[in-house]
A and B are shown apart, each in its own frame.
Chain A
């Protein structure tokens, strides 16, 4: 696998000679193999743990139930506990994550169009991301990772909540196309320590839950190859966002559990552009998401006053 990846790097003439290998032993490999049983998979002879990752290397030091993490992280403990409690409902399209399911096609449409343009991929292809390595930071149950894999990308999904990763793994294994996703319970910081690099780094609806957005952006930038892409979406710190995303979505419509968002941790687009700039990422495109209550659909718009998404590229050093 490592050689395949190297090969791929050569093909793209982009980088870099580092090779990843599993650095940690796998005490639960047996269970994993069971869960990975896939009659239709591409490589029945080679067991999945060949993947250049260690599924459980962080389970004991980052696992939520174990209390405070010992590794430096930009994450907030409270936020993690909050998400662990509703993790099982990730794939219930009528459950607590319904707003994300409804919003998903719209944010994917933005990612598809910006990445196709940037990486010069054929927008008429059903798998335009073939050949791209993408990391989904804060992947949750995998509702973004799976579509990215169906679009052809080699996807790594990371989340600090172990329960999320378990759900994501189980769900992805249902479909041979998505079972190729590499899920790790880890953080962006730890991936940086492992010197992982990706063509595109995507982190949606995550930055408003981290303790130090500037540090977080630096980590995302460190994971991106030069001239690679970074996509971030979040909620604006505007009065309208307070009214709609907190009062509306949490208290009136009950779309989201109360306390999902803290208005004071929201970032304005200006702040986001600035901290990305400091992390060596130039924001090229910004778009807003607007919700139409009559059609009950989200669409892309230039109104960035509530939900917005940014596409940036990493400056070549």
Chain B
């Protein structure tokens, strides 16, 4: 019997075997190299036999950081590592891996990854590649505002953690996931193509006894979604994952509605250089929006500076020296004084509440290291918030920016996406454990329920921050200073705020 099953499996696999995709780029060639050992002639025959239909368990549309994280997570779990996955991405950059040189100045597109994301990367085996490249852990964070009324310093020790997070270039994150998937023996096929249309086959309930549908030769594909690609190929999958970013085509084709708004604000993003190494994450709230300075190692830092679109254009176009001057002002005396230490009396307001004073509360206010030089081009991105009303329906599910786009305020966007990837792969594994079809909507809704709650909570916090800090109004300034100040002194509250920001899945105030 076992032999029979083995033969059956072999027959199935070879018939379903996907056509090999050869890329011109070296990295992609390495990816497809797994199939090289086998006779391509034999495959060709099998494929012709199967009428060129390519069938997968999962089609991931979008091979960015979140899509690749899902692939790595699936490859790393015993119950999902047998899945046959297609990765569809029209961006040729997916194949051509940028050569990462530690000597080059860092790319301006970075992410602040939380301890939760770090442990995901460690679990899938991708963190070792990050450690070989440039990355900067930080264990301190200072948040203050321009009115000089309050500041707060966070320290990893407050929550018994080694680090608060790590700043990594997006290209390093992406590359580490690619390396990780290449070295696994996971069955994956890259399609360097775009999704043009998608047919989510009629649900089995509506099919009922409609025998005309079932008599057609395609009946065995009736439980699959059909994807048509820009290179003319059609592929079939039990589950389509939309990991194709804020302008998701999958979301559009599946008809998921979104809720959201633009902030009529832009973020200016660039890399800067200091004369000393920066080891702390800094964030200052200015009248027009926050400026963040994130350590990147080797005396480099990353700047994410939010302002109105007109100012943003000015700052993008102004000469480099003026920009450096502006930046230093924004991180120091510009717009208002340093928070005074005399504000301690304000802390006393909360003394009746305060249990044990956390260690860092006694640390004084510090001024961030001076920026000496601009080290990359300046990029401008509009800020918006967008949330899909549904993440899942039969055969299709959204993860990452396709499901939710946020303000880059706390660097949470990609962490939310990694959280989605992990949650989805776990739900798929649970489904496989009990023999549920992986396109089954009841299973996918479980993922949606779990992540929607998390993501909406995070989005509400970030949006609240954004609103609270984009209004320049006296009493409100006092109030948020009090919040910052209170947060600095009331340790349990502060601990909860940091652990939430560092990805522990707990409600900040009700745990």
Contact = CB atoms under 8 A, between A and B. Distances in A.
Nearest to B432: A126
A34 B51 CA distance: 20
Given A4-B1, A93-B442, A95-B205, A147 B220 contact: no
A50 to B, nearest CB: 13
Interface residues of A, number: 50
B1 A173 contact: no
A21 interface: no
A39 B430 contact: no
Given A39-B220, A174-B223, A88 B442 contact: no
Contacts of A101: 442
A80 to B, nearest CB: 19
B318 interface: no
A58 interface: no
Nearest to B434: A108
A147 B434 contact: yes
Contacts of A94: 205
Residue from A35, A150, A174 having most chain B Cβ neighbours under 10 A: A174
Contact of B5 (A41, A102, A130, A167): A130
Nearest to B435: A147
B8 A42 contact: yes
A185 to B, nearest CB: 16
Contacts of A108: 434-436
Interface string A1-15: 000110110010000
B400 interface: no
A94 B442 CA distance: 9
B404 to A, nearest CB: 22
Contact of B2 (A91, A131, A175, A295): A131
Interface in A68-127: 88-89, 91-95, 101-102, 104-105, 108-109, 112, 124-126
Interface string B200-218: 0001110111010011010
Contacts of A176: 12, 220
Given A7-B1, A35-B215, A104-B434, 10 more contacts: A11-B2, A35-B214, A37-B217, A40-B12, A42-B12, A88-B209, A124-B79, A171-B204, A173-B219, A176-B12
Interface of B: 1-2, 4-5, 8, 11-12, 15-16, 50-51, 53, 55, 78-80, 82, 203-205, 207-209, 211, 214-215, 217, 219-220, 222-223, 430-437, 440-443, 446, 449
24 contacts: A4-B1, A37-B217, A40-B50, A42-B11, A91-B205, A92-B203, A92-B205, A93-B441, A94-B205, A104-B434, A104-B436, A105-B431, A105-B434, A105-B436, A109-B434, A125-B79, A126-B79, A130-B2, A130-B5, A131-B5, A148-B435, A170-B207, A175-B220, A175-B437
Interface of A: 4-5, 7-8, 11, 34-35, 37-43, 88-89, 91-95, 101-102, 104-105, 108-109, 112, 124-126, 130-131, 146-151, 166-167, 170-171, 173-176, 179, 295, 297
Which 9 pairs between the two chains have the least Cβ-Cβ distance? A147-B435, A92-B205, A8-B1, A108-B434, A150-B435, A174-B223, A42-B8, A124-B78, A151-B435
